[in-house]
Amino acid sequence: MAPRTIEDLIARKPARRRSEVPADVLKALNAGQIESRNLVEWLVIDQVKLLKAILPEIGLDDDRTQKSLLKTARGLREAGVMQRSTGIGAAFFAALNEAEDSAAIYDRMATHPSDVVRIWAAFSDGANPRLTFPQRLKRVRKFAVDANAGVREIAWMCVRSPAPDALIDEVHRLQKWTVDSHPFVRRFAIEVTRPCGVWCAHLKRLKDDPTPMIELLDACNSDEAKYVQDSVANWLNDASKSQPDWVRKTCDRWQSESPTPQTARIVHRALRTLRK
């Protein structure tokens, strides 16, 4: 049988278990030729091998820089996958800070065929302490609308982790995101502000008082996209664990003001913890 082409590998059905990832798929993933299709494939990628493969092609071919990045990656091999990704992203921020053509290198990373490389680019922004909150939002948008679900999940983490207070103090900057024509943008505005969230630190201020986010939530309380509906429902479900009365009142108001199937679906999912 002839070896599969890259086009064949891109069109593959993703593996359900790590042991089921074919050798040619793993090789292409580690070479940065294709992106992962699900969490299973993402977890089997050897980020050291991937890093070694892509550094020359993105323009970071300085020997000292390569050794530094690879040393960081090797040092994180036993860490969790999120720690590896954030650590390598931070190392890229340092490397790009010294590179003469950093903007071009960053653009190659942000548009790379490998979703992991795009994730490193997003985390390099997350590691930049000089970015203002508006700058973070501007730079993260391309990752928020990425076709790969894993990159979209990383996108909101890269804003939430370095700027948790700005999410609340400057929430008005997210208002226009909730009325954007792209459902991924609307979903980002909700997901980035979830009181608890997944794989991230909780926002204690919102667990204590979720009211600063009500305009964002109201804007999406009858969204046509199930992807956005699920995020809104999950937001309220988070809040119900610390502010159950507030969530009940919000759901009651929505059902009165917006008697749509979309709102009904959101409310039903939002109250799942309180029904137990």
Closest to 66 in 3D by CA, of 33, 105, 103:
105
Average pLDDT, the chain: 95
Mean pLDDT of 139-162: 96
Single-letter residue type at 214? I
Tell me: pLDDT of 1 over 70. no
Q: How many CA atoms lie within 13 A of 42 on its CB side?
A: 19
pLDDT bin (cut points 50, 70, 90) of residue 216 is very high
pLDDT (0 to 100) of residue 61: 85
- Compare 8 and 129 and report the one with higher pLDDT: 129
pLDDT (0 to 100) of residue 200: 86
Give the Cα separation of 261 and 150 in Å (integer).
Answer: 29
Distance of CA 118 to CAs 14, 52, 150, 213, Å? 20, 15, 10, 29
Residue 61: both structure tokens together: 């071919």
Mean pLDDT of 66-73: 95
Tell me: pLDDT of 241 over 90. yes
Terminal C-alpha separation, the chain: 54
Tell me: pLDDT of 96 over 90. yes
Mean pLDDT of 63-85: 92
Tell me: pLDDT of 276 over 90. no
Mean pLDDT of 48-69: 94
Tell me: pLDDT of 74 over 90. yes
